[in-house]
């Protein structure tokens, strides 16, 4: 999905969430759903399957994923499924999070780690990134086993990559040179 398209959907979802005074809840729920769909390729495939009627795809979400979700989250997902854009939920979540952070006077940071962090680790990481960038951050932590270890952070247009996977890649490059 183009950045402009993701931004447009994020604006629409943000407007729905703001109208319901639930931007934080909707953002967190959409991020959790995006992570769940990224981890479950079959669920993502079924929701994107144009052979299934939209109503049937919406019913797939009624059980587990959306059992307790906010109505604005449900409306956002219904909009994305109906528009055949559910496969781009991650891009929309990122654009939504950037918009929410900006409106709160913060910079959005997406941090990838190999394993879940404790609350204390997350707070320490956020503090370190805020000191390094000199900005107040709204941070989202994403577990990505491909990181192997360490941290990869994107703060605005800046990428800070202290991941083990990057170090291994650099080592391979040096050995092949």
Architecture of domain 106-176: 3-Layer(aba) Sandwich (3.40)
Phi, psi angle pair for 152, to nearest 5°: -125, 125
Residues paired with 155 in a beta bridge: 109, 158
Per-residue confidence (pLDDT) for residue 175, from 0 to 100: 83
Gap between the Cα atoms of 125 and 24, Å rounded: 21
- In what order do the strands lie in the sheet containing 137-143? 137-143, 107-113, 151-155, 158-161
Domains 3-98 and 106-176 in one fold? no
Each residue of 53-79: pLDDT tens digit?
Answer: 888 887 877 766 677 889 999 899 989
Whole-structure pTM value: 0.83
Topology given in CATH for the domain delimited by 3-98: Peroxidase; domain 1 (1.10.520)
Domain boundaries, given as residue ranges, for the chain: 3-98, 106-176
CA torsion sign, 132 to 166 to 159 to 126?
negative
Each residue of 88-145: pLDDT tens digit?
Answer: 999 999 999 999 999 999 999 999 999 999 999 999 999 999 999 999 999 999 998 8
Radius of gyration over alpha carbons of the chain, in Å? 18
């Amino acid at each position: 999905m183009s950045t402009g398209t993701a931004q447009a959907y994020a604006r629409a979802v943000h407007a729905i969430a703001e109208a319901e005074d639930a931007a934080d809840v909707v953002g967190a729920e959409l991020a959790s759903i995006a992570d769940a769909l990224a981890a479950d390729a079959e669920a993502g495939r079924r929701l994107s399957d144009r052979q299934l009627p939209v109503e049937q795809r919406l019913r797939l979400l009624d059980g587990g994923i959306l059992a307790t979700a906010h109505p604005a989250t449900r409306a956002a997902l219904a909009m994305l499924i109906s528009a055949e854009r559910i496969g781009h939920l991650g891009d929309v979540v990122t654009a939504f999070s950037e918009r929410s952070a900006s409106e709160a006077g913060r910079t959005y940071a997406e941090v990838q780690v190999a394993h879940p962090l404790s609350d204390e680790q997350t707070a320490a990481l956020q503090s370190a990134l805020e000191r390094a960038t000199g900005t107040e951050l709204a941070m989202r932590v994403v577990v990505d086993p491909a990181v192997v270890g360490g941290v990869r952070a994107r703060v605005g247009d800046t990428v800070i990559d202290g991941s083990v996977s990057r170090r291994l890649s650099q080592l391979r490059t040096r050995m092949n040179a």
